[in-house]
Structure 1
Amino acid sequence: MKRFALSILLPFVLASCGGFTAPERDRAQWDTELYGVSITWRWVNPGGLGKGRAGRAMVLPGGESCVIDLDPATVRNYLTEVAAHEAGHCLAARHLKVGAEVVSENPHLHELMEQWPQEYAEAYMAECGLSLAPLGWRDTREATCAAPPTPDSIR
């Protein structure tokens, strides 16, 4: 009889623990501003961008706003580089920048539309270190720059 009573009560007890949650994409989303571009950053479900893809920037040429999706599982060890690279896409579109000299063994980064954002990421890391604070994030790591590189400072 106890087992029967527990089996009836269990679903109600478990349901009361669930509460309400926001849709997956809305759980981790924040906005920053960088050299005239409003950036919305979003964490996506692990693997949500496709196999091996760490980030994606959605922006139009000349646009003043941009949405960046980051896969937290894929970017785990490269968060600063990927975040700066994706921010580079936003800046490249806003300021109409294309092409640059990239030092990388990754063939994807040698594609024309990937070169300038990667050059920006490399310059960002050289000037600011691993801190994401110059990109507008909350980060306890101390930045080694007062501000991130400007779009005009990249070749």
Structure 2
Amino acid sequence: MNSGSLLRKISAVFGVVAGGVALASCGQQTSGAAGDDSGTPSTPEVSPISPCELVTAADLKEATGISFNEGQKRGPQCYYATADYASTASVSTGLDTVADHLDTKKITISGADAVEGRPPEGDQCLVDVTLGPDAPVETLSTSMSGIDPADKPCEIATAIAEKALAGVKD
């Protein structure tokens, strides 16, 4: 797969999960990221933290009671799926994912300001945690999708955020 195709695929994933907010953030480069000594251009970097290192499938099971496969890293996001792929969770760093078109509510997670957003259908929830200027990234985001609204997807996304937040603070 060539790099243009890979970037289009990554951009499509960001569009589904986070809409235009993630796409706008995707093109940001950190200083000095123009290339390496080999002359090969480097991929834009959004966050110095690998989201798949923040939580494992075992951590998610402990936090939510749901069994997930190990995470798959895609850019600044890590995706976890249930064995039947009916439900998915994600953890990302450096991106604001809660878009204006969602029903939002301000919350607090482990002392940090956060916002949760859900679409009217209610089968998914996104949570953005503001980490502040002294953190390695400004935002930690989690999501839960494809879950019965009766199973409270925002409570699950919040539990994932609490678990991932502990990984950021370590």
Select the structure of larger CA radius of gyration. Answer: 1
TM range (shorter): under 0.3
Q: Give the alignment's TM-score, normalised by structure 2.
A: 0.26
Q: TM-score with structure 1 length normalisation?
A: 0.28
Q: Which has the higher strand share?
A: 2
Structure with a larger share of its residues in helix? 1
